A and B are shown apart, each in its own frame.
Chain A
């Protein structure tokens, strides 16, 4: 290979080369860190909620009329909904995964104040919860109808039993989580709760919470003046039922407001809207960046070809084949890019370290760096290919032409 002469020619025209290398280094830094952040966010968005998202929808109700009796209304509404054809099951609850608002409490394995607790999301629900959400009960048992009690807004007592997610059990009991069923945990410092079952996955309502997988089903139905009804439809029936049930409920009783009738898919969409927005912005940014950098390389390479027309003609006259000329420019670009990507690798890791220390971003996985280097090498070569191809077409007779 003709590395040495290319290198010495490069060193005599440093400015252009440095500009391209700097662009490549910065571009790589931005692209790799952006892609990393995009993938992180995608990973977050891909976490399963543990529910049968495709067939579930949720509505909110708020009672306002003076004759609103929440307890009888809940029973009536659930009876009505569960009796509709196409409905698999339905519950009343305070919240649902990804909804954004909910209730959290602290659980501890020992009784008493000052014990280090584990935060968990609370879902109040009856014995239809596992079936309605489509949860996977992996240990223990589901609630029985006789387990269910009513909870008023200012109640401070907790029922003596609950179903926990596997993640919550793991957090409380570590490797021993498999034996968690039958054990007791404490809520509100002193109130015992007997674990009767473990479900595989059920996300908390807040997607940004670091305890997202920690949830607990509590066998109570809430009388908070308002709440949510969660409905699971048979495949293909959801959209029809969304309108039917909203209208049906309003017809049955007008003293409560029914609103925000949303499918789980919509709820997921809303929940991750800013994730998606940020990803789109980053994607647009790195696309524009790639185009700008590539065009910059095309511009500078075209210029360099134009400037060296005579030289290229001379090389052709002296026996260089078209391929030799093509190779010259590709190798030259590769050398420049190599300097760029080496600095790019350093900057990439540097920026990531900055993001790790200032934000709570995880460290970049090692393979992002070589992938970024290869990508930038390819972008450089692709950008220089056009001008290099043009350089090949320069006639050897250019050598004998006077200026």
Chain B
């Protein structure tokens, strides 16, 4: 029976080629537009580390201006001061934790041929790698000793290793960064979280850094920092030490807290620490310390841009218009078939079978529209890449999940659009139709 319906559906689609292609085009355009924008939003709001996102916490301690919150409404700063970050690194009770900041320097390749180039780096602690489960291609992270003893060690990104060593295992070799020689202890294997959750302050969709070095080198070598710095109070003393002792925030801080107990302990520690600092005349605001897990953090820092959201909702409205359009076209199409439906009813077809027959037809149209929509979404995502440049390159990708979402959306849209016209067509009085013909 199904093959019979199938044949009827194909026949019917072929009989009205213009109406059928209009419908396929309408569904295709609607699906194409909404899938393009949904994909970008999905990538923006994706969970970058799903199995662990509830155990990783961004740390906020509010050391800000007594008169104004860091951000309305009373949101604590997204970064920490050097004083606080160091105090937490020393004493805070976490399974793992790492302060980090963005630095930049010129890398000088060996040999006279290769030209020096600019690179950005992440100065952090060894726990960074274990906490965020960065994959290693060669070698490993540096040890705690390296953190404490200001050892000149570095972990390279895969790209940097390719650029400087042609992808060979470079562990044990050296590299000159900012005029200083570092020992390479590890090479990452294409590590690229989207969003780059551990540093949304400096661009949630930016490329990951080219190299990683122990955090304490920032102070020891007075490295150039590339990241955002915010101050509410002038620094009291001149020089680099003055900056380190200032109320400026410029350090991202993450802790791994596997269960409720460690989380509560950690927050208690933060509040206790803030109280102590108040005794010393710092922390002029009421207590406002938080730990936020990965998804809470992305939400709080508004990682999905308003623009992307607005465009997504507009394109979903566009899909709605396309569906209304399809309903109208289906009504038209089925009404030209009222004679046939009347005849089939008269020779004994039940309403149910007729309904099924016509829904099958709509489903076929939905599938065709969905495939067209996928094609358009594919083109649309390429267009998005071309329009926005490299910053969205890793957002505008259609994965298998999205493929099935698109197809499902297309078919369910087509079915949704088909229900009313089909119902109306199948409710025709058989006698009436036969008489007027």
Contacts and interface: CB of A to CB of B under 8 A. Distances in A.
Asked whether the complex places CB atoms of A and B closer than 8 A, the reply is yes
Interface string B23-57: 00110011001000100000000000000000000
A292 B118 contact: no
A132 interface: no
Interface residues of B, number: 57
B172 interface: no
Given A259-B118, A281-B384, A285-B315, A64 B179 contact: yes
Interface string A136-173: 00000000000000000111110000000000000000
B408 interface: no
Contacts of B67: 114
Contacts of A224: 224
A257 B328 contact: no
Contact of B329 (A30, A270, A273, A296): A296
A277 B387 contact: yes
Nearest to A296: B325
Contacts of B106: 62, 64, 257
Contact of B116 (A16, A33, A64): A64
A172 B175 CA distance: 50
B108 A289 contact: no
B321 interface: yes
A213 to B, nearest CB: 22
A156 B310 contact: no
A15 to B, nearest CB: 6
Nearest to B307: A278
B105 interface: yes
B238 interface: yes
Contact of B179 (A65, A270, A359): A65
Most buried by A among B105, B108, B387: B387
Interface in A284-324: 284-285, 288-289, 291-293, 295-296, 299-300, 303, 306-307
Interface residues of A, number: 59
B317 interface: yes
A26 B317 CA distance: 7
B242 interface: yes
Contact of A27 (B179, B315, B321): B321
A86 interface: no
A283 to B, nearest CB: 11
B387 A300 contact: no
B318 A285 contact: yes
Contacts of A154: 238-240, 242-243
A299 B328 contact: yes
B4 interface: no
A30 B317 contact: yes
Contacts of A225: 224
Interface string A25-48: 011011001100100000000000
B318 A288 contact: yes
Interface string A240-267: 0000000000000000010100000000
Contacts of B335: 303, 307
A90 B66 CA distance: 43
B368 interface: no
Contacts of B329: 296, 299-300
Contact of A19 (B243, B310, B324): B324
A211 interface: no
B314 A34 contact: yes
Contacts of A374: none
A1 interface: no
B307 A300 contact: no
Q: Is the interface of A mostly helix, strand, loop or mixed?
A: helix
B111 interface: no
A289 B317 CA distance: 10
A37 B307 CA distance: 10
Contact of A23 (B116, B321, B391): B321
A189 interface: yes
Given A19-B327, A154-B240, A188-B234, A30 B105 contact: no
A34 B310 CA distance: 10
A16 B238 contact: no
Contacts of A130: none
Interface in B285-336: 306-307, 310-311, 314-315, 317-318, 320-322, 324-325, 327-329, 331-332, 335-336
A37 B310 contact: yes
Contacts of B324: 19, 22-23, 26, 296
Interface string B204-233: 000000000000000000001000000001
Contacts of B389: 270, 273
Given A156-B242, A282-B314, A293-B325, A274 B307 contact: yes
Nearest to A360: B306
A194 to B, nearest CB: 19
Contact of A299 (B19, B178, B238, B437): B19
B436 interface: yes
Interface of A: 15-16, 19-20, 22-23, 26-27, 29-30, 33-34, 37, 62, 64-66, 113-114, 153-157, 188-190, 224-226, 257, 259, 270, 273-274, 276-278, 280-282, 284-285, 288-289, 291-293, 295-296, 299-300, 303, 306-307, 355, 358-359, 403
Task: Kindly list the 5 A-B residue pairs having the minimum CB-CB distance in the complex, ordered from nearest.
Answer: A277-B387, A64-B106, A296-B325, A303-B332, A188-B234
26 contacts: A19-B324, A19-B325, A19-B331, A23-B321, A23-B325, A29-B317, A30-B314, A33-B314, A62-B118, A64-B178, A114-B67, A156-B237, A188-B234, A226-B224, A281-B37, A281-B384, A284-B383, A285-B315, A288-B29, A292-B25, A292-B321, A299-B332, A303-B336, A358-B306, A403-B436, A403-B437
Given A29-B317, A296-B26, 16 more contacts: A15-B424, A19-B325, A19-B327, A30-B317, A30-B318, A64-B105, A64-B179, A155-B238, A276-B387, A277-B387, A281-B387, A284-B383, A288-B318, A296-B329, A300-B328, A359-B310
